[in-house]
A and B are shown apart, each in its own frame.
Chain A
Amino acid sequence: EVQLVESGGGLVQPGRSLKLSCAASGFTFSNYYMAWVRQAPTKGLEWVASITNSGGSTYYRDSVKGRFTISRDNAKSTLYLQMDSLRSEDTATYYCTRARIYYYDASFAYWGQGTLVTVSS
C-alpha cells in the first residue's frame, strides 16, 4: 500500500526557516516524480514544487523561487521541502504527492495527510 507521511510543520516566525519531510513507502520511490502542493486555510490548492525521480531537475512556483528547495533522498525514500525566509502568505497545509505513473510529472494519485505550517509572530 502506498503511504506518504509528512512531518515537520509547525509555528514559525516570519523570516525563519522550516524543513518538511515526507516519508514514502509501498512503492519504488526512485521511479517516481514527486511534488509538494499547499492549501492556505479555507483557500484552494496551489502547486509549490516538483522534482524528477533522480532529483536532477526541480521546478518551483514563482512566489517560492529562491526561498524554497525541494530535494529527495532515494536511499531513504524521503522527500523534503526546505523553506527559508518564510512569509505569512506561506501559511498553509503542505501535501506531499506522487504521480500516478513512473516518470510522470502530474496526475497526483497519492497524497499524504498534510502538515500545517503557520507563519506568524
Chain B
Amino acid sequence: DIQMTQSPSVLSASVGDRVTLSCKASQNINKNLDWYQQKLGEAPKLLIYFTNNLQTGIPSRFSGSGSGTDYTLTISSLQPEDVATYFCFQYNSGWTFGGGTKLELK
C-alpha cells in the first residue's frame, strides 16, 4: 500500500505569507494526486486535482506542483479564510489520504 506523509503537521504563518505544504508518497504516484481543504466543522473541499489543476471556483493563490514521490501545495499570499487543515490524496494505486497539515495564523 502507498503511504502518504505530509509535513509539517502544523504550520503557523502570517497573513500575506507565501506558504508551502509538502506531501511525500512512499512510491511514485505519477502525479495522481489531489489536494483538499477542510475547515473546522465542514466537509472537505477539492482544491487541486492531478497535481496542478485548480478546481473551479478556487482562488488562484492556490497552486500545486510535483512529480514522482514529492508534491507541494502553495498558497502565494495567505488569507485569514485559508485557516484550515489540508490533505493530499493519491489515487495512483488504491486510494490514500495523507495525515494532514493544520494551517494556523501566527
Contacts and interface: CB of A to CB of B under 8 A. Distances in A.
A106 B97 contact: no
B99 interface: yes
B39 to A, nearest CB: 12
| A: interface residue count bin | 20 to 34
Interface residues of B, number: 23
B97 A107 contact: no
B7 interface: no
B90 to A, nearest CB: 9
Interface string A86-121: 000000000100001000011111011110000000
Contact of A45 (B1, B32, B38, B46): B38
B46 A108 contact: yes
A53 interface: no
A50 interface: yes
A44 interface: yes
A61 B46 CA distance: 21
A111 B44 contact: yes
A106 B36 contact: no
Interface string B20-52: 000000000000101010100001111001100
B43 A44 contact: no
B49 A107 contact: yes
Contact of B97 (A45, A111, A114): A45
Contact of A106 (B38, B43, B44, B91): B91
B100 A106 contact: no
B55 A109 contact: yes
Given A44-B97, A46-B97, A100-B55, A95 B43 contact: yes
A47 interface: yes
A45 B95 contact: no
Interface string A31-74: 00001010000001111001000000001011000000000000
Interface in A1-50: 35, 37, 44-47, 50
4 smallest beta-carbon distances between A and B, as pairs: A106-B91, A107-B49, A111-B43, A47-B95
Interface of A: 35, 37, 44-47, 50, 59, 61-62, 95, 100, 105-109, 111-114
